[in-house]
Structure 1
Amino acid sequence: MRNEMMYRPIINEDILHYLRTEQKQLTGKLGALEELAHENGVPVIPHETVVFLQFLLKQKQPKNVLEIGTAIGFSASLMAESIGKEAKITTIDRFPVMIEKAKANFEKLGLTDQVTLLEGDAADLLSTLEGPYDFIFMDSAKAKYIAFLPECLRLLADNGVLMVDDIFQAGTVLKDIEEIPRKNRAIHRHLNEFLEEVTKSPELTSTLLPLGDGVALISKNN
């Protein structure tokens, strides 16, 4: 399940190597999970995004967190460790193989009481949630970001932050669509729609960061 974009850096490779190797590393069971994911090519967030997310969450201290895209449970576990046991995390995934691995990892890390895993398609589940969530992390199907955005904003607390991962597609998001392989054009088109909305909407404040394959931070203007 190799994510090719993880291996096509959008910043200087020497800087990328420094960010991934010289910043504080994870330890214990969570560190072992990160290392195992990288060894097996599982598309978890890269280490520069790990460090940024830790910092952001420790400043924000959210009490109610929503994640769209559980994968093997690494980022949900990272968030749980970063903000402490008083916070609750709800995470959504639709792939049985990932769900099974995530459940096993939550059990191994002692997080089953703190993390609630919802099984199914986010397109169906988001409308059933009430929120509000202080922090939402979206790292799912890139072509669905624009479709999920309205529900994320509905669920987001007035002072909350929505963090969206993998928005640049290794920089190809800026290319003319005719240069994009046909199999990737839906992602390209919908990501451009998403970027247009979050950067231009008068109702939102956003910033884009070159972490990993690109990160967007979004908040609502109250």
Structure 2
Amino acid sequence: MRLEPVVDDLLRELEAHGRENDARVGERAGKMLNLDRETAELLYVLVRSGRRRRMLEIGTSNGVSTLWLAAALAAIGAEEPLTSIERDPVKLDQARANLQRGGLADRVRLVQGDATDIVASLPGPFDCVFFDADRLSAPEQLRLLLPKLEQDCLLLADNALSHPGEIANYIAAAEAIPGVAATLVPVGKGLHVAHRR
């Protein structure tokens, strides 16, 4: 995977920090819960090859997946910034600093707050949404987003294998959208991929 060296070096540093932090911290809220590199690389390829231009990410954490998505948007010259939502203001500050370090801050609009409330207020349209936060509220977020999705849209959700019970309702809702083709990719914690054309 060829990323700009400054971005690749930063991501490898953040990946190591995330593994160390998550092994040490017992409380879920204090964990980074970053994407596995294999999943992040797949996201990058899907966004770049599909030439996605109006993206929404639900669950920023400290910005690892955000960096990958922003790098993909930069690679295709997308004009619209990625919108990324995070509930935790401390993690959002970390993401902001990491995006600055990676030279991608201008490619992302960070929004702090409850994802469901924010999704309800966003105007759209979006041609790609990455769900990587609370899996139980994802079906409601998807319902709110449906009228704001472009006809050709890509829906991505992490943790499809690691938390199958929690994500089952989201998967059922995504696969019930008319015209959707979907699959579960056994990479990392499991990536659910749904595409409507």
Give the TM-score taking structure 2 as reference length: 0.81
CA-to-aligned-CA distance 1:175-202 (integer Å, 9 cap, x gap): xxxxxxxxxxxxx3x4222233334x26
CA distance in structure 2 between the aligned counterparts of 1:138 and 1:210, rounded to whole angstroms = 17
Alpha-carbon spacing, 1:118–1:60, altered in 2? closer, same or farther (3 Å): same
Look up the equivalent residue of 1:86 and give its one-letter code.
A
In the alignment, which of 125, 130, 136 is matched to residue 129 of structure 2? 136
CA distance in structure 2 between the aligned counterparts of 1:134 and 1:162, rounded to whole angstroms = 8
Does the aligned pair in 1 maintain the 2:135–2:170 contact within 8 Å? no
Q: Among all aligned residue pairs of Structure 1 and Structure 2, give the percentage whose two residues are the same amino acid.
A: 26
SS at match of 1:135: strand
2:72 aligns with 82
2:6 aligns with 29
Runs of 4+ in 1 over 4 A off after TM superposition: none
CA distance in structure 2 between the aligned counterparts of 1:220 and 1:38, rounded to whole angstroms = 32
2:45 aligns with 55
Instruction: Give runs of aligned pairs for residues 198-217 of structure 1, distance below 5 A.
Output: 198-199=174-175, 201=176, 203=178, 204-217=180-193
1:146 aligns with 139
Larger radius of gyration: 1
CA distance in structure 1 between the aligned counterparts of 2:134 and 2:177, rounded to whole angstroms = 26
CA positional deviation for 1:82:
1.7
1:15 aligns with none
The unaligned stretches of length 5 or more in structure 2 are: 20-31
CA RMSD of aligned residues (A): 2.0
Give the TM-score taking structure 1 as reference length: 0.73
The unaligned stretches of length 5 or more in structure 1 are: 1-23, 174-187
Does the aligned pair in 2 maintain the 1:80–1:114 contact within 8 Å? yes
